[in-house]
Amino acid sequence: MQSFERYQTGNSFLHRLAPRVKVVMTALFILSALLIPDGAWTAFLLSLMMLLVLIRIAAAPIGMAFKRSLVILPFTLTAFSVLFVTPGAPLIVLHPGPWTLTMTDAGVIRFASILARSLLAVKIAILLTATTPFPDLLHAFRHLHLPRTLVSILAFMYRYLFVLGDEATRLMRARQARSARLPGRSGGANLMWRGKVAGGMAGQLFLRSLERGERVHQAMLARGYRGHIYTLNPHVVTRRDWLFAAAGVFLLLLIQLIARFPLL
């Protein structure tokens, strides 16, 4: 559960950038990736290079991002279908059973473009997570004027994610420890029962969470909470941040132009 924080301890240029700048630039990068038209390979390639340079600066292992970008895999499977339904010149014709599937050139371009956009987006998001501790992200959201309530909810959630996550893990371990079988017997009871037990565990977790909410509220009252949450502001946006943002926006605009006027 803690492994996702492994690269946040670095101290590269990217790690030190003001979190809100990183958040905005990440969003712009994803937006830019979505805006690159199908088949604008130069633009995709430039975006990828930009990404690789950033990963290099962050000194994050390139392979690290790979495993987690697999989260897009299931959706890639569903996107396979565009290979066959996009109108265009037929490339390959398949005959699986009674069907006829025609893979078109436009389909291939479309599929590859979807994949490219998605990989770019997920990798930049991984980079953001890898170079910015979550508490700093929360500060960034506050500065970006996200509703304070929502940011506070996220902060509490982050704190108790681990507490409750561990609790859930321990519950499951306890169940595992008693999931015994005798030699020569099937065991495991039935599906309904197993589901009900898992549900009981969820109910248990819920009640404990409620009570914990009560206790935390008491702890906050004890330290002067009266409805507002104040925090110090540990981050200032410096000239370096502005320069980085300006350079980033410029590059992204350039990529968009190149994507649309290939001759330029």
Partner 1 sequence: MPVTHPQDHTARPTSSRTAAGPALAISNLTFAYPDGREALRAVSFTVQPGEKVALVGPNGAGKSTLLLHFNGILQGQGEMRVMGKSVMKANLPEIRAQVGMVFQNPDDQLFSPTVYEDVAFGPLHMGLDEPEVRRRVAEALALVGMSDYAERLSYHLSMGEKKRIAIATALSMRPHILALDEPSAGLDPRARRRLIGLLQELPQTQIIATHDMLLVRELCSRMVLMDEGRIIADGPAHRLFEDQALLEAHGLERPAC
Partner 2 sequence: MIPISLNTWLIPQLHIPDGFLSLAVSLFFWLIAIIFIAIAARKVQQDFDDRRTPLMGILAAFIFAAQMLNFPIAGGTSGHLLGGALAAILLGPWAAILVMAAVIGAQALLFQDGGFLAMGANIFNMGILTALIGFGLYRGALRGAKRFKLIIAAIAAWLSVMAGALSTSLQLWLSGTASLQVVMPAMLGVHAFIGVGEALITVGALAFIFKTRPDLLSAGEVRGRGGRGWIAAGGIITLLTVLLAPLASANPDGLERVAEKLGFINAGRGAPYQIFPDYTIPLLGETPLSTILAGAIGALAAGVIVVLAMRLLRQRPDQSLSAGDQ
Interface contacts to partner 1, rule CB under 8 A = 2-3, 5-6, 133-135, 138, 155-156, 158-160, 162-163, 167, 170-171, 173-183, 185-189, 193, 197, 200-201, 203-204, 207-208, 212, 215-216, 218-226, 228, 230-232
Q: Which does 232 bind (CB under 5 to 8 A by kind): partner 1, partner 2, none?
A: partner 1
Q: Which does 180 bind (CB under 5 to 8 A by kind): partner 2, partner 1, none?
A: partner 1
Q: Determine if residue 118 is left, alpha or beta; phi over 0 gives left, psi from -120 to 50 gives alpha, anything else beta.
A: alpha
Q: Which does 12 bind (CB under 5 to 8 A by kind): partner 1, partner 2, none?
A: none
- Which of the residues 169 through 188 are near partner 2 (CB under 8 A)? 169, 171-172, 188
Q: Please report where in the chains the tokens 């291939």 appear, as a residue.
A: 108
Using alpha carbons, select from 136, 118, 123, 139 the residue that is nearest to residue 60.
123
Give the nearest distance from C-beta 45 to partner 2 in angstroms.
Answer: 16
Q: Which does 182 bind (CB under 5 to 8 A by kind): partner 2, partner 1, none?
A: partner 1
- Which of the residues 186 through 245 are near partner 2 (CB under 8 A)? 188, 191-192, 194-207, 209-210, 212-214, 216-217, 220-221, 225-229
Enter the tokens of residue 201. Answer: 């565990």
- Residue 133 burial class via C-beta count within 10 angstroms: exposed 0-12, middle 13-18, buried 19 and up: middle
Give the nearest distance from C-beta 118 to partner 1 in angstroms.
Answer: 27
Strands 101-104 vs 90-94: parallel, antiparallel or unpaired: antiparallel
Residues 6+ apart with CB under 8 A from 134: 158
12: contact with partner 2 by CB under 8 A: no
120: contact with partner 2 by CB under 8 A: yes
In this structure, are residues 121 and 44 in contact, taking their beta carbons and an 8 Å threshold?
A: no
Find the binder of partner 2 among 48, 108, 112, 154 (CB under 8 A): 154
Question: In 3-state terms, what secondary structure has residue 60?
Answer: coil
Give the nearest distance from C-beta 195 to partner 1 in angstroms.
Answer: 13
Give the nearest distance from C-beta 24 to partner 1 in angstroms.
Answer: 21
- Which of the residues 34 through 53 are near partner 2 (CB under 8 A)? 34-38
Residue ranges of alpha helices (H) inside the chain are 13-16, 19-35, 41-58, 62-69, 73-79, 82-85, 105-131, 134-143, 148-177, 191-222, 239-260
For residue 28, the one-letter residue type is: L
Give the nearest distance from C-beta 188 to partner 2 in angstroms.
Answer: 7
Distance (Å, rounded) from C-alpha 58 to C-alpha 132?
A: 11
State which residue, 3 or 149, has the beta carbon closest to partner 1: 3
Give the nearest distance from C-beta 145 to partner 2 in angstroms.
Answer: 6
Using alpha carbons, select from 184, 134, 128, 125 the residue that is nearest to residue 158.
134
